[in-house]
A and B are shown apart, each in its own frame.
Chain A
Amino acid sequence: MSVKNKVAIKPIYISLGLFVVLVAAFTIGNKSFLSLYNAQTILNAVGILLAVGLGQACVILTGGIDLSVGSIMSLVSVVFMLLLGPLGPWAFPAVLLIGLVSGALNGLIVSKLKIPSFIATLGTQGILLSIAYLLSAGPLSVPDNSYGLVDIVNGAIGPVKSVWIIGLATFAIFFVMERYSRMGRGIIYVGANERMSYLSGLDIDRIRLVAFSMSGLGAAIAGVVLSSTLYSGYPTIGGVYVLNSIAVVVVGGTAMTGGAGGMLNTLVGALIMGILNNGMTVVGVDVYAQQVFLGVLVIFAVAVTFDRSKLAIIK
C-alpha cells in the first residue's frame, strides 16, 4: 500500500522528468557525458549520496531535519581507519553501530528535551565533530594490512561495482522498512499528522528515535564507502554532505513538511544530484558555481513540495 500525495502531478514524476531533461541537456553540452566510463563515475558518487540521503529522508519524513549527518560521516570515517587494524572485518559493523548510536542520540535529544531538530542536530554536529577531531586532528590512512578489506568496497563483481551493490542494498533496506514495516509506516503517520498519531496511540518518541537512528545508519554507510574510496578518513570529510543529503531528499520530491514522498523519491533525487554534480563538471561549469546551483535548486524544490496547509503561520 503506498502513500499518496494529493498534489495533482506526483512530485516523483516531476523529478523523473527533471532527470531526463538533465541527461539530455548535459549530453548536448558534452557528448562524453553519456559514455560508459562517465556513467560508472556517476553511479559511484550516487552510492554515497543515496546512503546519506535515505537516512536524511527518514528524518525529513517525520517533519524534522538532520544537520549532523556530515559530522557522523566524518566521525565514522576516522573511527573506521582506526578500527581496521585492530578489528579487521569487524570494523564495518562497529562503525555502523556508531552511526546508529549517534542518530539515537539525536532522537533522544529531540524527543526528550523537546527542542526543534535543527537546533538539536546543530548542537550534536559540533559534539560529534569534536570527537572526530580528538581522535585524529589530521587525515588517517588505511593501515597497511587492511587494504584488502577496504578494497572489498572498492572492488567489483564482474562489471558491477561493489559500491553500487552497497547502494542498492541500502536502498532495499530502507525501502522495505518504509513500505513494509510498522515503524516505517509510523514515520509516515507522524510526518503526516503528529497530533492525530499521538491521539491514536502511536509512540511518537520511539518513532522519532528510529528515524534519527536510521539517519545515523545511512550516514555511517556513506562514511564507510567514502573513506574506502579515498583510502583515508578525516574530520572534514563529511562537510559538504549535509547540503547534499538535504538536496537529494528534497529534489526527489519529499516534502519538508513530512508525511509525503519517501525512499523511491530519494533514489531519484540521488540520481539527479549525481548527474548534476558530474554533469556540471563535464560540461565545464565552474566547480564553485555548483554550490550556487544546489542552493537555488533546494530552495526551488522545497517551495514546490512544501505543504502550506500544514502550517497556518509560516515563520
Chain B
Amino acid sequence: MNETILELKGISKSFPGVAALRNVDLRVDRNEILGLVGENGAGKSTLMKVMIGFHRADEGKYILRGQEMSLSGPEEAIRVGVGMVFQEGSMIPNLSVMDNLFLANERGFVRWPLLDRKRMAEAAREQLEAVGLGSLDPRTLMRDLPASRKQMIEIARLLWLSSHYGAENPILILDEPTTVLQASETEMLFSILGELKKKASIVFISHRLEEVVLHSDRIVVLKDGIVVADAPQAKAEVRAIEMLMVGHELAAEHYRESMQGSPSGEVVLSVRDLAMTGKFEGFSLDLHGGEIVGLVGLLGSGKEEVCRCLGGSESPSAGKISIRGRETRFNSPKDAIAAGIGVIPIDRRNEGLATSLDVANNINLLVLARMRRGLFLSPALERKSALKWIGEVMIKTPSPQTACSTLSGGNQQKVVIAKWLAAEAGILVLDHPTRGIDVGAKDEIYRRIRELAAAGLSIIIMCDTLEEDIGLSDRIVIMKDGRMVRDISCAKGAKPTPVDVISYVV
C-alpha cells in the first residue's frame, strides 16, 4: 500500500580487509519511520553512507522514486531528497541559525548587493516552525545552542534543501539522534518526527532498542553486513532483536580459545572509583597478571575515556589508580608509560606510528636510551633491536629502513605492538586491535595476544564485536551510560554467548 521511495537492491560494499555490506536489500517507503539496528561494525553506517552517495556500492542497484541512479556524492543526494544528519553535526558554530539554514543557497534572498536579512529571518522562522522551534530567534549563533536544538536545525536544513530543489517526500537519515538528548528531549524529537512523517520518510539508527521498537513503523536488523530481519513494528520485540543482532554461535577456536590460560593471583593494576565528569563514574577494576579483560560498551558508555585515563592522555576527575599496590597519578602519557602501561590506539596511522618514518625508528622510539654506546646512539644497536622485533612479531617488511607508510594495515599494527613490547610494557590497552585488518592477519594477532597473556602480560582490550570481546577475554566488564553494569566471566570452555550478554550492553 505504501509506495517505495528508495530501494537498494543487492548492495555490496567492501573495504580493504572487510566486507562491510553483502547483498543488502533495503527499501524506504513513503511516510514511514524506519529503525535500523545492529552491532558495532554490522554495516549500519556504511549502508547509510551508500544511501547518501558518500560511498559508491561495489555491486547492486540504487533506485530512487522508480529511477535507477548512481549518485555522484552527498551534494547530489540532497538535491534529490536524501540527506543525513551526522552525529558530529554539519553546522558552522560561529554563524547564526538562519545563516546555516541557507548556507550556500542565499541567492533567493539577495537584494543586490546585499542580503535581505529580514526576509531570511522570516523564511528561517517558517522552517523552524516545522521542527517545533518556531520561537527560536533565527539570529542566534549555532554555538550558543544545546545539542538537541542543533539537531532539529540540521533536520530543518535538510527539509528546506529538499523543498528548495523540488524533491518531495525527502528521506531524512538520523545517525543515533537520541545519544545526545535527555529523556524529555527524546520525547519531543519523536513527536516532531511523527509530524514530519506526513511529508517525509525518516530512517534512524539507534542502539536503544526500546525506543526503536516504540517509535518505528518498521525495523531492519543488520548483522555482519547482511540484513537478518526486516519487519513491521507490530511484530518486533526487543529480546528477539537482540538475538538477531548477535547471532547464536561462537566459533571457539576462531579466537584461539585453546591457548587461553587462567590468570595469576597478583593484582598488577587496581582502579578504584575512577570518574571523569560527564563521561563516566564509579569505575573499579582489579587486573591480574596474565589476565585479558574485555571492556565492552557502546559509543558513549565511557569505555574509551577510561582507557584514555589509564593511558595518561586524559586526567580523571576522581578516583585512584594503583600499580602493583602503589598508588600513582598520571599527568601525561609519560607517567603511564613509566608505570608500564602501553596503549595501542585505534587510529594507528595518526596516533600509533609516524608513517613517514621507517620501521626501525618507530619500533625503537620508546627505548632509544638503551641504544646508546657512550653518549651517542649506536646505529648498530638500533638495527639489532629493530631486526629482533621484526622477527619476534613477524613483521613483513623488506628492511628495517622501509617507511611505515608502505606497510599493510596488519603489519603497521604489528609495528605498534613491537614498539610497546620493546618498551617492556607490563600492561597493554588494546583499542580495537584488529580493526581494518584482514582475516589472516587477525588470526596472527589473536595468537600473539594469547602468547603475551601466557607470558604474564596483562591486557585490557576493546574489540570490534561482542563476539570478539567474549572470545578473547578471560572476563568482560560491561559499561553503559558511564557506569559499570556487569562483570561476566568468559573462562575457557565456559564462555557466555553474545545473546546472553547483549541486553546489558544496549
Could you tell me which A residues sit within 8 Å of B by CB distance? 1-6, 176, 179-182, 185, 188-189, 192-193, 195-203, 259-260, 307
Residue pair B334, A3 in contact (C-beta under 8 Å): no
Query: Can you name 13 extra interface pairs (CB under 8 A) apart from A182-B377, A189-B357, A196-B350?
Result: A4-B401, A4-B403, A6-B355, A6-B405, A176-B376, A181-B377, A195-B351, A196-B353, A196-B354, A200-B333, A200-B366, A201-B337, A260-B356
Could you tell me the distance between the alpha carbons of A54 and B136 in the complex, rounded to whole angstroms?
A: 58
Measured in the bound complex, the distance between the Cα atoms of B353 and A259 in whole Å is 13
Distance between Cα atoms of A176 and B372 in the complex (Å): 13
The reply to whether B356 and A307 form a contact with Cβ atoms under 8 Å apart is yes
Within 8 Å of chain A (Cβ to Cβ): is B383? yes
Partner of B357, one of A181, A199, A203, A259: A259
In the bound complex, CA of A266 to CA of B218 (Å): 66
Q: Report the separation of the CA atoms of residues A169 and B334 in the bound assembly, to the nearest whole angstrom.
A: 35
CB-based closest 7 A-B pairs: A192-B354, A180-B376, A201-B334, A193-B354, A201-B337, A1-B382, A6-B403
Cα–Cα, bound, A220→B3 (Å):
78
Q: Given A196-B351, A201-B366, verify A188-B333 contact (CB < 8 Å).
A: no
Note all chain B residues with C-beta closer than 8 A to A201. 332-334, 336-338, 366
Report the bound CA distance from A197 to B368 in whole Å: 13
A1 x B379 contact (CB < 8 A): yes
Are B356 and A5 in touch, CB under 8 angstroms?
yes
Q: Which of B337, B356, B372 has the most A CB atoms < 10 Å from its CB?
A: B356
Q: Is there contact, CB below 8 Å, between B354 and A185?
A: no
Tell me the nearest residue of chain A to B359, going by C-beta.
A4
Q: Can you give 30 A-B contacts (C-beta < 8 A)?
A: A1-B358, A1-B401, A3-B358, A4-B402, A6-B403, A179-B377, A180-B377, A181-B375, A181-B377, A182-B368, A182-B369, A185-B377, A188-B357, A188-B361, A189-B365, A192-B357, A193-B353, A195-B351, A196-B354, A198-B332, A199-B311, A199-B345, A200-B337, A200-B366, A201-B333, A201-B336, A201-B337, A202-B334, A259-B354, A260-B356
Closest-CB distance, A305 to chain B (whole angstroms): 12
A31: min CB distance to chain B, Å: 43
- When the two chains form their complex, are residues B361 and A1 in contact, meaning their CB atoms are under 8 A apart? yes
B310 → A minimal CB distance (Å)? 12
Judge if B50 is at the interface, Cβ distance under 8 Å: no
List the B side residues contacting A259 at CB < 8 Å.
354, 356-357
A260 to B356, CA, bound (A): 8
* Interchain CB contact under 8 A, A203 and B355: no
Chain A residues whose C-beta falls within 8 Å of the C-beta of B372 in the assembled complex: 182
What distance in Å separates the Cβ of A138 from its nearest Cβ neighbour in chain B? 45
- Interface status of B261 (Cβ within 8 A of chain A): no
Contact status A199-B377, CB under 8 Å:
no
Q: Is B406 an interface residue (CB 8 A)?
A: yes
Interface centre among A4, A5, A181, A182 (most CB of B within 10 A): A4
Residues of B within 8 A of A203 (CB): 334
Give chain B nearest CB distance to A32 CB in angstroms. 43
Are A199 and B343 in contact (CB-based, < 8 A)? yes
Contact of B313 among A6, A181, A199, A202 (CB under 8 A): A199
Q: What per-residue 1/0 map shows which CB atoms of B306-328 lie under 8 Å from chain A?
A: 00000101000000000000000
Q: A181 to B353, alpha carbons, bound, how many Å? A: 20
Are B351 and A181 touching (Cβ within 8 A)? no
Cβ of B300 under 8 Å from chain A: no
User: Nearest Cβ in chain B — how far from A304, in angstroms?
Assistant: 16
Q: How distant is the Cα of A180 from the Cα of B376 in the complex, in angstroms? A: 5
Whole-angstrom CA separation of A223 from B372 in the bound complex: 34
Q: Is the CB of B358 within 8 A of A185?
A: no
Interface centre among B334, B357, B382, B400 (most CB of A within 10 A): B357
Question: Chain B: which residue is nearest A180 at the CB level?
Answer: B376
Closest to B400 in A: A1
The docked-state distance in angstroms from the alpha carbon of A128 to that of B3 is 75
Q: Is B360 an interface residue (CB 8 A)?
A: yes
Indicate if B10 sits at the interface (CB-CB under 8 A): no
CA distance A5 to B401 in the complex (A): 10
Residues 189-230 of B, flagged 1 when their CB comes within 8 A of A and 0 if not, give 000000000000000000000000000000000000000000
Which of A1, A5, A185, A199 is close to B333, meaning CB atoms less than 8 Å apart? A199
- A237: min CB distance to chain B, Å: 35
Tell me, in angstroms, the Cα distance from A188 to B377 when the chains sit together: 14
Interface assignment of B352: CB less than 8 Å from any CB of chain A: yes
Q: Mark B390-413, 1 if CB is under 8 A from A, else 0.
A: 000000000011110110000000
Task: Report the minimum CB–CB distance from B345 to chain A (whole Å).
Answer: 7
The CA-CA distance from A259 to B376 in the complex, in Å, is 20
A172 CA to B90 CA in the complex, in Å?
A: 52
Indicate whether A1 sits within 8 Å of B383 (C-beta atoms), given known contacts A180-B377, A188-B357, A199-B343: yes
